[in-house]
Amino acid sequence: MGAGHAHPLYRPGSSPVHRLPAEVKIVAALVVVLCVVATPREAFGVFGGFLLVLAAVWAAARIPLGWIGRRALIEAPFVVLVVLLPLTGEAPHVEWFGLALSEPGLLAAWNILVKGTLGVLTSLTLAATTPLRELLLGLQRLHAPAMVVTIATLMLRYVDVIVAEARRMRLARISRGHDPRFLWQAGARPAASERCSCGPTSAGSGCTSRCSRAAGPGGCPGCPTPAPTDGNGSPGSPPCPSRSRWRPRVGC
């Protein structure tokens, strides 16, 4: 199984599913997705049947449920808004823990959720058992338009390049104190963190980090003096002992 090197969606193996020609798996996955989409949303049992088929494939290919479950979470951002449908849909409504949920809204949400999830699981199953290169060869053998295959090839080649570059840029940003979690960041942003007067500390041990979390406008807990809340520091507060060590000899 050639060039499927260490791709996060591929799980190497030698099961019958892995050994099937890629074009067979591509067509099978496409057919399953079309069937899922064409199934009426009220046919709850049929969706259970689809899941059983997929589970049988996972068992044959020896893919653990947790492995595929974690990767299926990629769907979450796309379906998160379906929770709004039961709340905003029209009558008739059903009562549920004091909430009036719209019946058509519930059905619409179910429809999106179940079809989306089964589609993602099917695609993941295909990706987990077929190396990238085989997928492209399979598309060629199916006489997919040459342009489509070329675009897919370039995409698969450059997605890794772009992900690696994004990762390096992220490392460089967080190394300079960037903290992209906005909710947690709220308490850590005030300028107080740098020049706080946390009392005597040896070589600044823990000084800024303690205060950066706790210092809101009210100052540090346990600080005798309120922490400054602007960038200039409070006039009388000594800077951390570890501060101001660096002085350029040139230009200052």
Q: Which residues bind another protein (CB under 8 A)?
A: 165, 168-169, 171-179, 188-195, 202-210, 212, 230-232, 241-252
Q: Which is nearer to another protein, 89 or 190 (CB)?
A: 190
Q: Which is nearer to another protein, 118 or 192 (CB)?
A: 192
Q: Which is nearer to another protein, 150 or 209 (CB)?
A: 209
Minimum CB separation of residue 45 from another protein in Å reads: 40
Q: Which is nearer to another protein, 94 or 174 (CB)?
A: 174
Strands (E) in 93-171, as ranges, are 93-96, 99-102
Minimum CB separation of residue 205 from another protein in Å reads: 5
Q: Within a 13 Å sphere around the CA of 45, how many CA atoms are in the beta-carbon half?
A: 0
User: At 93, phi and psi to the nearest 5?
Assistant: -110, 155
Provide the token pair at 64.
Answer: 């653990």
Minimum CB separation of residue 214 from another protein in Å reads: 12
Decide if 40 contacts 169 (C-beta within 8 A).
no
Minimum CB separation of residue 147 from another protein in Å reads: 31
Q: Which is nearer to another protein, 122 or 208 (CB)?
A: 208
Minimum CB separation of residue 170 from another protein in Å reads: 9
Provide the token pair at 81.
Answer: 């808004």
Provide the token pair at 52.
Answer: 């059983």
